[in-house]
Structure 1
């Protein structure tokens, strides 16, 4: 009955029940309504004509379905419509796109809407289009020239329309579809693109390198332009590029040379081959995440990677890399755990802020990265920016583990398993104070296990199995509580190891390393024995010099001393002669 009511906001409550057209009968001046995140059900006759013209409407998580609400057809001129997770089923009606052609925001995500999208949406004024988690199929259409964000992940879309263009596009979230072929070369024209997530699709071949050839194709009338003839002045603004779980092939993408702002790069589970180029550090100096897991890369790991000062996640596992682990690991400042290195505030790669002229809309999309940590595959989403990890496992790396590794005090996960690493475990491994997971298994490491491992108070997973380690297994602190169900499995495959928890006992008296109290007592007793020994030596030297000086400077002492020696000599001589004669007579 509130005929002058212009704005109704009841969102984010615990309201339930049914709303019908009778509730809206007198709201002739209503411009904005928000009923989102309640338990309300809208049951409205399909022939009902609403008395108002809405500018903004948010019915997210209300029950509108299963049929697409026909009364929305009368809301032409609406600037923002959100009907996500409203149990809608079936095809999107054709009138929907023309009715809301002036809308800046459309959110129809998390329903069961099916069918194909129109071949072109260029006539619309959209800035943000959210259609994720539906059953949509067909091609990604020609988009409005005004669009900045398109979010269509988890559908069944299978490709792009020819001549795909969106000059204002900033974020394209397209993962978990069925997109085939290759990424269109028109991506080189997306000068405002910041986020491209096209992982978990069926893309193949190679990425466009946005070089001379592509630029000429995109700008055929500018063949004589210096910008076309030189790629050095051309660059993209992409900060997040997620291409994992596709079938991309050929070498490391030259496309990345044009992405100097790149922060998060994920090329995992593809078919990339060849060596990593040395220009990685120079072309993408701001990289925080570099993930190349499960490809066919080979050759040495370029030392230029160590110049990525902001790098926090380095995953080169399950490739064919060989040679030694590069030196200068301490140059990766973000892994050192210093205050200076941690000052940088990162945006989350899986949170995207959508803005239009009137308000900002934030959404965390459901993509993630899979990290092998603590012996299992763990999915990271919003907490990705807090992970610090180096994973070089399942390669053919040789040589020793660099001592410089101990400088990475901020490292949480270190996995060097399944390589050909030799030498000893660095004695300063205890400096990695933030380490929670350490896997050095399936190498040919030798020598003893450093006692400093017990200094890793955050350690919750350790695997040193199948090496050539020997000597007593250290204990204390975290080491005594790891893998309580089967602690010996951490050391299996090292026949030279002895002591708890393996069956082989060490030679000599058994005993744990001294506790703090025992160490103090041992130190005190050791000092007492040392004092006694030093005192005895000093006393012996002093006494000897006193006798020598007395004989040297006292004539009476000399006469008495040497006279005593002569008398002793004469007596020993007489005794020995008499004894010899008696012994000779007895024999005769």
Structure 2
């Protein structure tokens, strides 16, 4: 299309050529005869230079030009020309340059600039803005005061943002989604409770005006801070986030112990990811009070002690229920259109099935526990088998001992099970063959012994090298390892532990004890009858005498019949 197609369209207000892959060829000196209110030109080819004819559209309320082949600097006039626009989308291009230092004068509610080459600081934003996405650029910091007190969504991942998060974020009381993952942020997060109290009571002298930190609760539901360099202890900011559903602090430098207030401060957590930090101490039992948690990843830290008790209290993992509101599918309704404000372009790396897998907004359907690469000791609790909704369980690279729970076969939804590199002993439960969805199993480098069970999925796993699942257990025998088992195949292993027999059968000790009790009771009943009842005693011994006489006569007659009379 050229300017010839627009000749005479003096009253044109609305143009939508989106997703038609048209090439719009308009000269740099052309002055359009119309004054647009809305221009939707996504996926058309407007580039490589930023179209100068848009400079005359000062009344435009909506400009949507993502993926339009623009390879240019954002022109200086862009911010003033579109200062009255409420919806600006220039994403998925190769636009460069710094953002204007102050955008407070603009009227936009939605600004989408992701996947460009923008540099500089994130400026002070207008009070009207609700959705901001400047992810996948080269921005390197914040201004001290971000403004934007009505901001609901801030997606800033995959930039080069360094320094600290400004305390002005504490005044964004409507902020629900904050994604700062894959940046260079360091030090600690602001303690918004203390910040707000200082503003309300700057003198600090009147104790009667003391304000509880909980009175400054933020509305954040999704907080993604992975792959930065945050340090210090578990962020106190999180005490002000009672609505938090998804928390990702992976790959940072946090230290210290986890506080016991996690389940009280953030009772609705669905995802808690603390992988690859320096947290230490015991895993607090209070975490088991997170009834909604579906993704619990504490791997690659320095946790010690036992797997917490009451693990069966993770109610969301005890069910296969998947019907719930997905916060990553939220949408913002603007004056002209709706926009998804969740994780449409976000990916979260999850270690599962022995490899790193990328998840987007579908991560909410993953139900997993990963406590690997710590210093956990003790036994794997039998109560773990109640988490029937688990899809992935990884307890590898710890110091766990004892037997694999005999009832682990109840985890019917499990697709990935990794118990490798521990000190587990005894036999492998036959109930593993009940895991019909299992596609990845790793029991290597333990002290397991006995016959390897077979059946169902166990016979099909790792067809190219099935023995690798059991390597490092010299006591194991049978297919697929080289050592043969003595004798014929037996039933389900017991490991010498009566609790490892199937639940609906009697253990050996139970059977033996019942036999002894039955024999004693039966013998005593006979003895009691003979001792205290004279008639029965006479009849009993008379019967024995009669039986003896009969046997004697039969034996004598038989002897004479076959061998003749004695000499």
TM norm structure 1: 0.83
Match of 2:335 among 357, 361, 377: 357
Q: Structure 1 residues 448, 59: closer, same or farther in 2, change over 3 A?
A: same
The Cα of 1:423 is off from its aligned counterpart by 0.4
Contact 1:212 1:229 in 2 (8 A): no
Matched, 1:384 2:374: no
Paired position in structure 1 for 2:516: none
Give the greater-gyration-radius structure (CA). 1
The Cα of 1:345 is off from its aligned counterpart by 2.5
Paired position in structure 2 for 1:296: 278
Paired position in structure 1 for 2:542: 552
Q: Which SS does the other structure have where 2:361 is aligned?
A: coil
The Cα of 1:96 is off from its aligned counterpart by 1.1
Q: Structure 1 residues 135, 228: closer, same or farther in 2, change over 3 A?
A: farther
Matched, 1:45 2:27: yes
Contact 1:227 1:233 in 2 (8 A): no
The Cα of 1:267 is off from its aligned counterpart by 0.2
Paired position in structure 2 for 1:180: 162
CA distance, structure 2, for counterparts of residue 420 and residue 36 of structure 1: 58
How many aligned positions are there?
Answer: 518
Contact 2:196 2:216 in 1 (8 A): no
Q: Following superposition of structure 1 onto structure 2, how do residues 173-572 of structure 1 map, counting pairs within 5 Å? A: 173-217=155-199, 220=202, 229-339=211-321, 342-348=322-328, 351=329, 353-362=331-340, 364-509=343-488, 552=542
Matched, 1:77 2:59: yes
The Cα of 1:76 is off from its aligned counterpart by 0.8
Paired position in structure 2 for 1:3: none
Q: Structure 1 residues 462, 109: closer, same or farther in 2, change over 3 A?
A: same
Q: Which runs of 5 or more structure 2 residues have no equivalent in the other structure?
A: 493-525, 527-535, 561-565
Match of 2:3 among 21, 41, 61: 21
Paired position in structure 2 for 1:64: 46
Contact 1:193 1:237 in 2 (8 A): yes
Contact 1:185 1:214 in 2 (8 A): no
The Cα of 1:562 is off from its aligned counterpart by 11
CA distance, structure 2, for counterparts of residue 411 and residue 34 of structure 1: 47
The Cα of 1:558 is off from its aligned counterpart by 9.5
The Cα of 1:47 is off from its aligned counterpart by 1.4
The Cα of 1:355 is off from its aligned counterpart by 2.4
Q: Structure 1 residues 453, 47: closer, same or farther in 2, change over 3 A?
A: same
Q: Structure 1 residues 222, 70: closer, same or farther in 2, change over 3 A?
A: farther
The Cα of 1:137 is off from its aligned counterpart by 0.6
Please give the per-residue CA displacement for 1:125-161, whole angstroms capped at 9, x wherever unaligned.
0100001111111100110110001100011111111
The Cα of 1:70 is off from its aligned counterpart by 0.6
Contact 2:214 2:239 in 1 (8 A): no
Q: Which SS does the other structure have where 1:73 is aligned?
A: helix
Please give the per-residue CA displacement for 1:94-151, whole angstroms capped at 9, x wherever unaligned.
1111111000000011111111111001110010000111111110011011000110
CA distance, structure 2, for counterparts of residue 232 and residue 108 of structure 1: 39
Q: Structure 1 residues 108, 503: closer, same or farther in 2, change over 3 A?
A: same
Q: Which runs of 5 or more structure 1 residues have no equivalent in the other structure?
A: 1-18, 514-540, 572-577, 580-588
CA distance, structure 2, for counterparts of residue 217 and residue 57 of structure 1: 44
Contact 2:201 2:209 in 1 (8 A): no
Contact 1:237 1:262 in 2 (8 A): yes
